[in-house]
Amino acid sequence: MTPQPPTGAALSPVPLARAWREGRIVPLAAAVERERFALAAAVGPGGLGPLERRWGPGVVLGSGGSRGHGASGRRWCLLPLERLQASAAATGQWLEGLGIDPAACLHLNPLPLHHVSGLLPWLRARQWGAAHRRLAPVWMRQPALLARAAPLPRHRPVLLSLVPTQLQRLLDDPAGEAWLRRLALIWVGGAPLPPELAARARAAGLPLAPCYGATETAAMVTALAPQRFLAGGDGCGPPLPGVELRLAVGGAVELRCGRLSPGWLEAGRLRPLSLDPDGWWPSGDAGRLGPEGLELLGRLDGAIHSGGETVFPEQLEPRLLAAAAASGLPLQAVLLLAVPDREWGQRLVALVRPRPEAGAAERTAVLLAGLEQLAASWAPAERPRRWLLCPELAPSALGKWQRGRWQRWLMALQAGHTPGDAGADEHLQR
């Protein structure tokens, strides 16, 4: 039977709170057909009743995945309410350690509820007895509008959670920077904080608290105090209360806490997270432990961070090939590579090899335009920012992509050099 999109998914706090009072687990996904069908397939036709009887109320949220179960890619994680509440309690204790009363705060929230960093601000405020206000996405793209639409009260501390892309946009506008200066604390997570952006935030005197966490950990598990950040501290800070952190061989970040997800759903079955006998979970990130706690070095599984989202190029490539075939576009091979981006952290660039029958430059130009149109409906972080024609693009004799080789090829092209082992018609890039 073809999976159907989940019905009754709570995309606002009121129905979500009602569902929890009824003891239900609520699956949450973006309002995109592909996401909703993927979530429905993960839940399976039998529904969530058995999990509700075992774990009580909670949510199922999409995660970027990890190396922990031998698979990479998107997972749909079960997060029982009691574990979400434990996360909120740990964050409250951390705030109290800074001399901030959690109950006195206003928690601003620019992220959607189907993202763990959008769910937790509302849940924290609910648990602390604090105020919560959502910020419309359009406000975050127009800092002057944000300053007018969301004036900040002077009688209470205001907290905000951002991804680096949002912080970059606000800092690029004087109105946005002035608005940020009035906040009591700004958590920044979802992707590594670029050093240049951190330096700009320090120069502006912003009370940033870089943090680290995952869907599997019910949001942040480490955070750096704003005072330490402003004093020049790097990294994501020490563990929050109830969290233990260590590095495995090779620098892999592992952690242990009582609020880890019980597992992820696949065709109606709960697959437990991969833990060692002592309960340590491999996060899939590389890091080191410095004077200010955890410093992230990057993902271990080939994923990239783009605009606060985790993107898996190896999953997007077959998707694009299939869409091109269905549309009759003469695409033979495509490779998605990451390039640094000042605002997004990383963005994708697509290397494209047409089928031999594509022929003349006019038809290959049509191919690139068609591919760009196919990807226009994808999530912003998944859309390649450039499309480059690369007639020599091919995997190795064993059928594997030598991504390092093609990354060097792309870097040479961007530097204005002629790549030594392949060619591209630069005038056809989009």
On whether residue 3 sits in a domain, the answer given is no
Do residue 258 and residue 119 come from a single domain? yes
Cβ-contact 390, 353 below 8 angstroms: yes
The string of DSSP letters for 259-271 reads T--SEEEETTEEE
Select from 271, 299, 327 the last residue of a domain: 299
Residue 3 φ/ψ region, left for φ over 0, alpha for ψ in the -120 to 50 degree band, beta for the rest? beta
On whether residue 6 sits in a domain, the answer given is no
Place of tokens 């320090």: 202
pLDDT at 73: 56
Select from 265, 299, 333 the last residue of a domain: 299
- Which range (65-74, 222-231, 289-298, 335-344) has the least confidence? 65-74
**Average pLDDT of the chain?**
88
User: Helix 164-171 to helix 195-203 angle, to the nearest 10 degrees?
Assistant: 50
Do residue 74 and residue 197 come from a single domain? yes
pLDDT at 424: 37
Q: How many domains is the chain built from?
A: 2
Please give the model's pTM, rounded to 2 decimal places.
0.76
Do residue 44 and residue 109 come from a single domain? yes
Per DSSP (E only), the strands in 45-104 are: 58-65, 72-80
Do residue 191 and residue 338 come from a single domain? no
Which tokens hold the place of 39? 């979530």
- Cα–Cα distances in angstroms (integers) from residue 318 to residues 22, 191, 322, in the given order: 41, 25, 6
What mean pLDDT do residues 189-211 have?
Answer: 91
On whether residue 385 sits in a domain, the answer given is yes
Which tokens hold the place of 107? 């928690």
Do residue 342 and residue 290 come from a single domain? no
Helices and strands per DSSP (H, E), number in the chain:
14, 20
What is the maximum span of the chain, computed from C-alpha positions, in angstroms? 69
Those residues whose C-beta lies under 8 Å from the C-beta of residue 345, and which sit 6 or more positions away, are 164, 165, 191, 192, 194, 305, 306, 307, 308
- pLDDT at 6 > cutoff 50: no
- How far is the C-alpha of 409 from the C-alpha of 405, rounded, in Å? 6
Higher pLDDT, 358 or 117: 117
Do residue 324 and residue 285 come from a single domain? no
On whether residue 120 sits in a domain, the answer given is yes
Per-residue confidence band for 110, with pLDDT thresholds at 50, 70 and 90: very high
Q: CATH number of the domain that 406 lies in?
A: 3.30.300.30
On whether residue 30 sits in a domain, the answer given is yes
On whether residue 167 sits in a domain, the answer given is yes
On whether residue 381 sits in a domain, the answer given is yes
The string of DSSP letters for 281-343 reads EEEEEEEEEETTEEEEEEESSS-EEETTEEE-HHHHHHHHHHHHHHHT--EEEEEEEEEEETT
Residue 326 domain boundaries: 304-428
Which tokens hold the place of 161? 């959670």
pLDDT at 318: 82
Q: How far is CA 380 from the centre of its chain?
A: 12
On whether residue 325 sits in a domain, the answer given is yes
pLDDT at 360: 67
Q: CATH number of the domain that 147 lies in?
A: 3.40.50.12780
Q: What angle do CA 95, 96, 101 make, to 5 degrees?
A: 90
- Percent of the chain as helix, strand, coil, to the nearest 5: 35, 25, 35
Select from 299, 328, 362 the last residue of a domain: 299
Place of tokens 């849940």: 123
Cβ-contact 26, 19 below 8 angstroms: yes
Do residue 327 and residue 268 come from a single domain? no
Which tokens hold the place of 349? 């660039």
pLDDT per residue over 378-401, tens digit each? 999 999 999 999 989 987 654 567
- How far is the C-alpha of 296 from the C-alpha of 276, rounded, in Å? 22
Do residue 255 and residue 111 come from a single domain? yes
Higher pLDDT, 305 or 58: 58
Do residue 254 and residue 324 come from a single domain? no
Which tokens hold the place of 198? 């951190």
